[in-house]
Amino acid sequence: MSKIKHTTEKALQMLRTLPRVSIGNIRDNPNSKQPQKRGRAQHGGDKHGAGNKGSGQRQNYMRLGYETGNTPFYLRFGYEPYYKGHHLKREYPPISLHQLQKLIDTNRIDASGPIDLTTICNTGLFQIRPDQLHYGVQLTDEGADEFRAKLNIEVQHAPELVIAAVERNGGVIRTAYYDPHSLFAVVNPRKWFEKGVPIPRRMLPPQDAIDYYTDAKNRGYLADPEEISKERLVLAQKYGYELPKIEDDPQYEMLTQCKDPRQIFHGLNPGWVVSLKDRAIVKAKGGE
């Protein structure tokens, strides 16, 4: 009887000292589980982790828009006329008046001379890709109230508020068109000059853009100068500011400087060849 009692007390003593059985302190018996071996029967390990039959096993990825036998999305719905020619529409990456003012304040752009697309691209902060249907920049009205610079700028698109903000400070703004061939020379003049080819002649706007660039309200470069002077006064009366007189401005020569409709660079005529190596300009026969 005493032996049984001793055994019972010993068991109780072990329960007091040993930890409780939990998931954290149990494990399988040794050699109770064997790793799965690669099989040799049908689909028994002969796929190398690439799945079953078909393109998933052969890494022949499906083309974009393919829906594994279903009618694709772009065929289930009718054609929308709104998107007709959408892939051919001209794009104009934006640059705001706030960004333009910051570029002038940080001396990345010199406002004492005419500013065009080449000047903007030479800052290194804006990239125009003619191969992606970029046709220039559009000047947006963000920061119009804080814009204080007086400049002569040429962009490809500008709303009415932007035109008012520039002319309120005594500046001049002009919208001009560049054809894709000319854009390759405009956005990277150094690369164009290194090729040793003549400066191209800028083409006129296409039929769907001729109305915009001949409208004096848009300050088009093909518009009548007298009509532009009238529209400058109308816009000043609309927004309630006094239109500065450019004729009395000491920078009159800079503000009235503009390019010919067929000219790309200021001071360089079409047909001239610029040699960076010789630091010389080869003018066309009969050129000035």
Over residues 69-73, the mean pLDDT reads 88
CA 159 to CA 175: how far, in whole Å?
10
Task: Check pLDDT > 90 for residue 18.
Answer: no
Compute the distance between CA of residue 186 and CA of residue 116 in angstroms, rounded to an integer: 9
pLDDT digits (tens, 9 = 90+) for 198-238: 999 999 999 999 999 999 999 999 999 999 999 999 999 99
Total domains present in the chain? 1
The mean per-residue pLDDT over the stretch 173-178 comes to 96
HEC states along 101-120?
Answer: HHHHHCCCCCCCCCECHHHH
Domain with 97 in it: what CATH number? Answer: 3.100.10.10
Separation of alpha carbons 153 and 270, rounded Å: 21
Residues 6+ apart with CB under 8 A from 134: 91, 92, 93, 128, 183
Taking the C-alpha atoms of residue 191 and residue 14, their distance in angstroms, rounded to an integer, is 88
Asked if the structure places residue 172 within a domain, the reply is yes
**Which tokens is 197 given?**
């080819």
Residue 236, in any domain of the structure: yes
pLDDT tens-digit map of 141-163: 999 999 999 999 999 999 999 99
Residue 198 lies in a domain: yes
> CA–CA distance from 171 to each of 140, 222, 225, 244, 250 (Å)?
16, 19, 15, 9, 12
Domain membership of residue 147 (yes or no) is yes
Residue 168 included in any domain: yes
Q: Domain span at residue 227?
A: 87-282
DSSP 124: S
Residue 47, domain member (yes or no): no
Residue with tokens 């019972």: 8
Q: Has residue 46 been placed in a domain?
A: no
Query: Predicted confidence band at 87 (pLDDT cuts at 50, 70, 90)?
Result: confident
Residue 3's pLDDT band, with cuts at 50, 70 and 90, is low
Is 103 domain-assigned? Answer: yes
Tokens 């706007």 found at: 205
Beta bridge partners of 137: none
